[in-house]
Structure 1
């Protein structure tokens, strides 16, 4: 315990970023058991530290541990720390701990201590033999929005915008933002290195770091959580590259399985793993117990920076649509549409394209909008793509 306390003191002595991610204000701090899930690299460790510090406890009352750096069980650590007067246990990388669900249940039921933990987005919480859903509040942290990138990179903290406000007032919003910075210039930077907060550790090495993170997600998290052999992980990696070459609207599942050298059912399982790991965003699919119940309408890489790493030939339409999805999905229901590209909240129809995109396909549809890339200020129902980066 003494060694854990020493490492915890070092953790809390390090500077904490002042900017708080969108999820911070959504957390119920009264809960005894709080779980922050998300893809590696999105900032979970920083967030759980900020959440812990929000309790304003003395350092002796808080213990930070990383589950890949312990020898005792989580419950043993919690019991001993509670006996020493500890009131808050912070566990990073919980998916590295043995029997973590049972251990958390034991702590919740028998130890008088609050627990905040982080874990991989690929965790099978809902299928765990121990039901944590009745005990823990789970939150998912996604990649940086365009708004958050600007706040961290340039210290320009602009407000979150409601979707209805964007649809009605996007011209005024764009003109207001233009007084602060050139939106297209900053949006280009976001496309290059803006979706993960570790860009603050060096922009030149950003792509190398992101490539390492993708490899860790596949070789460690997906492999261990879903018991996938290393040779099969290489097929999953190949599948990601194949998806780069596929135009979403022309997606052919049978051809994709053939190119990857796997069966259709195996393909569906791998797609499920990649979606759970937040490397893919699958539109129109419905999974149950790792089985796909219906054919996906479109498949994208989860965020725009992944295209820089995984795709030798960048697909601009896919990247635009991936960005739109990544920003809208946080607070809104998004579906594929046969007319236009996406239906949001079963109300709004969006067609996503370049700056010269016309209304031809959706001109007769109610509540329809063109979302245009490379446009600084829109007009009427034509809205700049970058503006949707202020939804969270």
Structure 2
């Protein structure tokens, strides 16, 4: 146990409270078992350590941070570790990368049921399906998902400026007033261009030139390690999944022809769908369906997108600007908790509002016959009427 405590103390020394992710204030930290899912590099570990270092007060000394891939677990179980800590007066266990521990769900269930006085907060890969583990956690765990940085968070984390998040309703009714206020202190367009290329994950602070190579390593790790743990991939499967991701990235966003993809890759149609939804679960793809369409993993998605624009730059050297705009907007809308579907006219349908995405000269021809519409226009600092700066949607969370 002393080994784990020393490891924890070293990590805590490097943690500061200068910047907190948006999710921090949304979590009900008083729940007995909390799961935080999210992409690699999004800041899950930092959230755990910040909570431990700055929020717990007297409970800090009764809290233990562990990471599930620590060598400690070569000859100790998660359940035994929790029991030992409880017997030493521990009340809170923070477990990082829980998906790297075999039988994680069964032992979490045993901890929850067998040690009522122990609270657990764990982090995991985006691909982890907490409710379909080997043991039933659905009635025990409260799950949260941590997205990458919004454009608003990127500005704050970069030290450029700090702004409050805005709602979708704010964007519809007050976008000009809000954008005029923001542009009175910053020039958003060059900053937005940098964000689209290399600002989605907090690791951008480690060096802009190193960001995309590190993102490529993250993609490899998600497929080779995270999905290998969770979906039992072997080396051959991982290669096929990465090939599929590369094929999708060449054209995303696009309406997939599953049969053509299957023929091109010499993989069955059902297996292609399985891989697509696993990549979605892993935070590498976003899937869009038409309004009212049932959700099934055996159902062909209507449109496929890379999960964020940084992936576009990491996988393709010269991504299409129109594709980047749509990828960005869908990403921000989804992570703001909005339901998004594909409309008959326009690019996205949100709360019965049709949204058309384009450049600064984009008009309303495609959506003007709808009851309610917005134009999300790139390349403008402020808008007018139904025309709204695209970058402003990056303030939704």
**TM class by smaller structure:** over 0.9
CA distances 1:163-207 after superposition (whole Å, capped 9, x unpaired)? 111111111111111112101011011112110011112222111
1:20 is matched with 20
Q: Distance in 2 between matches of 1:23 and 1:140?
A: 8
> Number of aligned pairs?
388
Q: Distance in 2 between matches of 1:161 and 1:241?
A: 35
Who is 2:67 aligned against?
Answer: 66
**Does 1:339 pair with 2:345?**
yes
- Cα distance, 1:104 vs structure 2: 0.9
Deviates more, 1:279-288 or 1:67-76: 279-288
Q: Determine the C-alpha separation between the residues in 1 that align with 2:295 and 2:272.
A: 13
Where does structure 2 lack aligned partners over 5 or more consecutive residues? none
- Unmatched runs of 5 consecutive residues or more in structure 1: none
Give distance in 2, aligned partners of 1:227 and 1:241: 21
Give me the whole-angstrom Cα distance separating, in 2, the residues matched to 1:121 and 1:59. Answer: 27
Instruction: Work out the CA distance in 2 between the residues paired with 1:47 and 1:73.
Output: 24
2:124 aligned partner: 119
- In structure 2, the residue matched to 1:263 is 268
CA contact 1:147–1:389 (8 Å) conserved in 2: yes
Identify the residue that residue 234 of structure 1 maps to in structure 2: 239
Instruction: From 216, 223, 237, give the equivalent of 2:228.
Output: 223
Distance (Å, rounded) in 2 between the aligned partners of 1:343 and 1:305: 24
CA distance in 1, matches of 2:139, 2:252: 41
Distance in 1 of aligned mates of 2:216 and 2:294 = 29
Aligned to 2:44: 44
Contact persistence 1:244–1:315 (CA under 8 A):
no
Cα deviations by residue, 1:345-381 (Å, 9 ceiling, x for unpaired): 2x11101111121111111211111111111111110
5 Å matches for 1:183-202? 183-202=188-207
Match of 1:209, SS state, is helix
Match of 1:101 among 95, 102, 105: 105
Q: How far 1:9 moved relative to its partner?
A: 1.5
Task: Tell me the TM-score normalized by structure 2.
Answer: 0.94
Aligned CA distance change for structure 1 residues 121 and 197 (closer, same or farther; 3 Å): same
- Is residue 350 of structure 1 aligned with residue 380 of structure 2? no
Distance of 1:124 and 1:359 partners within structure 2:
41
Residue of structure 2 equivalent to 1:79: 83
The correspondence for 1:311, drawn from 305, 310, 316, is 316
312-321 or 116-125: bigger deviation:
312-321
Aligned to 1:30: 30
Alignment of 1:357-368 (within 5 A): 357-368=362-373
8 A contact 1:67–1:97 mirrored in 2: yes
Aligned-partner SS, 1:195? coil
Distance 1:248 1:201, change over 3 A: closer
**Post-superposition offset of 1:155:** 4.8
The answer to whether the Cα contact below 8 Å between 2:334 and 2:340 also exists between their aligned partners in 1 is yes
Q: Distance in 2 between matches of 1:115 and 1:57?
A: 17
CA distance in 2, matches of 1:87, 1:100: 19
Q: CA shift at 1:63, angstroms? A: 1.0
The reply on whether 1:327 has 2:332 as its aligned counterpart is yes
